Structure 1
Amino acid sequence: MNDEESVMPALPGPSVRRRQLGNALRRFREEANLTAEDAARVLDCHASKLSRIENGQSGVRARDVRDLLDRYRVDDPAARVTLEALARSSYQRGWWHDYSDVLDPGYIDLIALEATASDVRNYQTLLVPGLLQTESYLRAVIGAHPGGYQEEEIRQRLDVRAARQQALTRESAPLRLWTVVHEAALRHAVGGVPAMREQLAHLRELARLPNVTVQVLPFDVGAHPGLDGPFALIGFPDLRDLDVVYLESLTGGRYVEAPEQVRQYAHVFDRLRAIAASPKRSLAFIDRLRDDL
C-alpha cells in the first residue's frame, strides 16, 4: 500500500474527530513500545505520514486503523469499534455538511461528535439545552441574536436543530443525555409565556425517555461550581480519554481537549448533579413552573 492509499485527505473543515483519533492511536502505539517508524511500516508509509495522522492533520481509513490496532495488540472490541467509527466519520459526508455555509465550524463538529458519541453531560445556565428545545423556543433564541438572520437562514437553523435532536431517539444506540439546568433558564420566558409553557411541557416529556435525565439546579443552592458558565461534555465511555468539552460563545464554539482539563469539567459536572434537585423532584419542579405561568 502506498502513501496515497493509506492516508487520504479527510473532509475539509472540523478536525476534533481527527485529533481524537490521532491522540488515541499515539497512546496505543506508545503503550506498545513502538516507534513511529515501526508503526509506519504497518501502513507502508513514511513516519512523517504517521505523525500527521497522530497530530490530527491527516485522515486515515478504518481498515488502516484496524491494522494499526492489530499491531498495537489492542483487543478491546469497544475501543476498536469507536476508533474505526471516528476514522470513517472523517470521510463520510454527514447531513450537516449541507449546511456548512450557514453554520460555525465548531457547531458542525459538535453535531458530528454527537453522531458518534454515546453520551453528553450538559450544564446550562440561561437556556434550555439545544437538544431539548422546541421550535418556537429556538426561533425566539435565533431572533434575539445580535447579528440578525434572514427567514431562510432561520429555517435552515431550525431544520439543523430538528435533525440534531434525532440523536436522542435514533433506533441504534440513542444518545444518552444528562443535563443540569439552572432554575434561571426555566424561569426566563423565552419567546413569551405560551412558547415557554410549550417548552416546559416538551422538556418534561423528553425527560421520560430512558436515555434522558434532567436535573434542575435551584436558586437556593447559592454559590456553586458552575458559576463559570455552561458547557457540554461529549463522551465515549469505553475510551474516556476521547472525551471533549464544548464551550459555546457569541462568536462560535471552541473545544477543550486536554485530558486533565476535561477531567476538571467532569468533576464540576459531578458536583453540580450532586447538589441539584433529584430527577424526580426536578420534574415536579418543572410542572410547578409551567402551572405558574
Structure 2
Amino acid sequence: MRTNPTGRQLRLGAELRKLRERAGLTATEAGQLLGSNQTLISNIEAGRSGVSAERVRALACHYDCADKALVEAISRMTGDRKRGWWEEYREILPAPLLDLAELEHHARSLRDATTARIPGLLQTREYALEIFRQAVTELSPPDIEHRLSFRIKRQAILFHEDEPTPYEAIIHEAALRMKVGGSTVARQQLQHLLDMSDRSHITLRTITFDVGAYPGSGQSFYYACGPVPQLDTIQLDQSHGVAFLDAEAQLHKYRTLFERIEAVALSPEKTRELIHHVMREM
C-alpha cells in the first residue's frame, strides 16, 4: 500500500475514476465486477494501490469504454515502475516539483506561455540562481543549490540525442527586457534563447508590448501533451505552490487559450530579430 503516491499514479487512478463515473457505477459495483470489493477500487483510484495493465483493460471493458486509444494510453501508465532521476530529491524538494519532472519525462510535447520570466527549461544556471535568490520565501543556500541542480536536470529532456521532447514557448517581451542578475547575466540568457531556438524541436515566439492586452494577459501556464488529448495536463505556479489541472473543461480552456496567444505572437524568425534587438540595447 502506497502512502505517498506520485502525480502520475494519482492521475492513473483519477482517469479510472472518470471512466467508472461515466459508466454510472459506484466503487462497490465496480469492485463486484472484478470479484473484489469497494476498498480495492477506492485504493486504486486514490493511487494507494498499484494496478496492472490487464486489470485496467478489464475495468475499461466493464465501464463500456469504447475509446481504445485512451484505454491503451492509461494501460501504459501502469508499466513504468523504474525510479526516475527525480527520486533522488524525494526527501529534499516539495513533492509537486518531482511530479512536474515526472510529467515532463512522459510528455509527448510541451507548451509554455510566460509573462515575467524566461521559462524554467530555457533558463541559464546564472539566471535561475538569481530567480531562486529572489524567491518570496527566502531559501537557504543548500535549498537554492538543490533547486538549481534540479532545474538544470529537468532541462535534459530538450537535449536527448534520439528523441528530444518538442517544446514551444511564448515569452512576453517584458521577460526579455528584465535584467535579471544584471546586464551580463541577462545578455547571456538572451544568447542562450537564440542558441536553443536553433534546435529544430524548439519553437520560440514573443508577445510584444505593441500587442497590448491579449488573451490571458498576465497569466503564465505550462501545458504538457499526453499520448492522447484526455491525458494532457496543465501546470500553474500559484502563491501556495504548484497546481496541476486535468479536467476536460480546463484542458479545452487552456488549449484554446494557447492557440489564441499564439495567433498574436511574433513568428520564430521575428522573435529572433527582437531578441537580437534587445541584446543590442542592453
What is the TM-score normalised by the length of structure 1? 0.83
Q: 1:10-49 maps to which residues of 2 (within 5 A)? A: 10=2, 12-15=4-7, 17-28=8-19, 40=31, 44-49=35-40
Question: What is the number of residues matched between the two proteins?
Answer: 281
Residues 271 and 174 of structure 1, relative CA distance in 2, 3 Å threshold:
same
| Kept after mapping to 2: 8 A contact 1:104/1:252 | no
2:264 and 2:250 map into 1 onto residues whose CA distance is 22
Structure 2 match to 1:274: 263
Residues 38 and 203 of structure 1, relative CA distance in 2, 3 Å threshold:
same
Write out per-residue CA displacement over residues 127-181 of structure 1, whole angstroms, 9 at most, x where no aligned residue.
0000010001001111112433333322222211111101112245422211110
* Counterpart amino acid of residue 252 in structure 2: R
| Kept after mapping to 2: 8 A contact 1:104/1:253 | no
Q: Secondary structure at the match of 1:96?
A: helix
Shift of 1:204: 1.1
| Kept after mapping to 1: 8 A contact 2:4/2:48 | no
1:133 and 1:285 map into 2 onto residues whose CA distance is 18
Residues 21 and 171 of structure 1, relative CA distance in 2, 3 Å threshold:
farther
Shift of 1:73: 7.3
Write out per-residue CA displacement over residues 10-63 of structure 1, whole angstroms, 9 at most, x where no aligned residue.
472543x23432343345567789876675467553243124323545432345
1:115 maps to 2:136: no
Structure 2 match to 1:5: none
Q: Percent identity?
A: 33
Q: Secondary structure at the match of 1:215?
A: strand
Q: Secondary structure at the match of 1:160?
A: helix
What is the TM-score normalised by the length of structure 2? 0.86
- What RMSD over aligned residues (CA atoms) do the two structures have, in Å? 2.8
* Counterpart amino acid of residue 152 in structure 1: P
Q: 1:126-205 maps to which residues of 2 (within 5 A)? A: 126-205=116-195
1:59 maps to 2:59: no
Q: 1:250-289 maps to which residues of 2 (within 5 A)? A: 250-289=239-278
Structure 1 match to 2:115: 125
Shift of 1:185: 0.4
1:83 maps to 2:74: yes
2:111 and 2:279 map into 1 onto residues whose CA distance is 25
| Kept after mapping to 2: 8 A contact 1:107/1:252 | no
Write out per-residue CA displacement over residues 54-102 of structure 1, whole angstroms, 9 at most, x where no aligned residue.
35454323453355457767684x645532442245x543221221333
Instruction: Tell me which stretches of 4 or more aligned residues in structure 1 moved more than 6 Å.
Output: 30-35
Shift of 1:289: 1.4
1:250 and 1:30 map into 2 onto residues whose CA distance is 32
2:22 and 2:45 map into 1 onto residues whose CA distance is 14
1:227 maps to 2:217: yes
| Kept after mapping to 2: 8 A contact 1:125/1:229 | yes
Shift of 1:266: 1.4
1:248 maps to 2:232: no
Unaligned runs of 5+ in 1: 1-8
1:211 and 1:172 map into 2 onto residues whose CA distance is 12
1:165 and 1:62 map into 2 onto residues whose CA distance is 30
1:227 and 1:73 map into 2 onto residues whose CA distance is 38
Residues 114 and 33 of structure 1, relative CA distance in 2, 3 Å threshold:
same
Unaligned runs of 5+ in 2: none
Shift of 1:241: 1.4
Q: Secondary structure at the match of 1:253?
A: strand
| Kept after mapping to 2: 8 A contact 1:200/1:286 | yes
* Counterpart amino acid of residue 83 in structure 1: I
| Kept after mapping to 2: 8 A contact 1:11/1:93 | no
2:231 and 2:149 map into 1 onto residues whose CA distance is 29
